[in-house]
Amino acid sequence: MTQTELAKLLGCSKQNVSKHVAKGMPVDSEEEARRWLRNNVVSDSQINRGMIGQSVVTAPSEIDTVPKKIQDLAENAPIELPTEQKECREALKEIQVSRKLAFSNMVKLSASENKDGARRWAMVHQMLTSRQASLEKQLRDILERDSVTVLHSQATARFRKFLFTLKTICDAMPSALCAKANPSDRLLALRHLEEWRDKQLYKVLNNYEKHE
C-alpha cells in the first residue's frame, strides 16, 4: 500500500502519513496503521475525524495512560540483544521513537498538573533511556565486529604504522633513485632528491598535519 492510498483511508494528508511512517508506523494495511496510531499517537475518534496531524495538541486526558505496547517495550527487555546490524538498528529506532513520545507526554501532563500521569510517563522514559543506551552500545560493538568502525586507539595505531612505513620509504628514496635520475653524477642527483624530499615533500606533510 502506498502512503497516498493509506492517507485516503485514514482521512488525512500524505504529509502526516509520511511523518508517522518515519517514526515507525507500518503501511502494510489500514488496520496495522490504525493500531500503531492508537498505541503511539492518537485515539480512534481522532483518526476518524482526520486529526492525525494534530496530535501535538492531544488533550492530557487522552495520554494519561501509557499504551500497553510502550509499557511492555520499557519493562520487558529481551533476554538477548540483537546480534545483526539491521535488527539492532530497528530495535533502537523503536526505542528512540517511544522514548521521545514518553518525554513529550510527560511534559504535557506535567504542564496540565497531572502529576500521576506525568510520573507514569517519566518512569517509562527512564526505562526506555536505559534500554536505548544498551542498544546503542550493542550497535557500536556490532559495527566494530563487522569492521565498519574501529576504536580510536586502533585507528591511531594503524595510521602511525602506515606513516612510519611511508617515512621509511621516503628516507630511502634518494639513494634508490639517484643512479637512475642522473647516472653520470649520482652525488648531484642524491643531493637534489634529498633537498626535494626535505623541503618539499616533508614540508607539505608537516603543514598539512598542523592545519588538521
Q: b/e per residue, 12-24, with b = 16+ CB within 10 A? A: beeebbebbeebe
**Helix/strand/coil (H/E/C) assignment for every residue in the chain:** CCHHHHHHHHCCCHHHHHHHHHCCCCCCCHHHHHHHHHHHCCCHHHHHCCCHHHHHHCCHHHCCCCCHHHHHHHHCCCCCCCCCHHHHHHHHHHHHHHHHHHHHHHHHHHHCCCHHHHHHHHHHHHHHHHHHHHHHHHHHHHHHHCCCCCCHHHHHHHHHHHHHHHHHHHHHHHHHHHHHHCCCCHHHHHHHHHHHHHHHHHHHHHHHHHHC
Which of 139, 76, 70, 77 lies closest to 100 in space, CA to CA?
70
pLDDT 10s digits, 197-210: 998 888 887 876 66
Question: Does 148 have pLDDT greater than 60?
Answer: yes
Mean pLDDT, all residues of the chain: 84
Question: Does 73 have pLDDT greater than 60?
Answer: yes
pLDDT category of residue 54 using cuts at 50, 70 and 90: very low
pLDDT category of residue 131 using cuts at 50, 70 and 90: very high
Question: Does 57 have pLDDT greater than 50?
Answer: no
Question: Does 61 have pLDDT greater than 60?
Answer: no
Q: Would you state the pLDDT for residue 202?
A: 87
Cell of 102: 514518553
8 A C-beta contact, residue 96 and residue 23: no
Q: What percent of the chain has pLDDT over 70?
A: 87
Q: What percent of the chain has pLDDT over 90?
A: 42
pLDDT 10s digits, 94-127: 999 999 999 988 988 888 888 898 999 999 999 9
Task: Return d(Cα 14, Cα 4) in angstroms, integer.
Answer: 5
pTM above 0.85, yes or no: no
Task: Return d(Cα 60, Cα 57) in angstroms, integer.
Answer: 9
Question: Does 55 have pLDDT greater than 70?
Answer: no
Question: Does 56 have pLDDT greater than 60?
Answer: no
* Average pLDDT value for residue range 182-202: 92
CB-based contacts of 149-154 (< 8 A; 24+ apart in sequence) = none
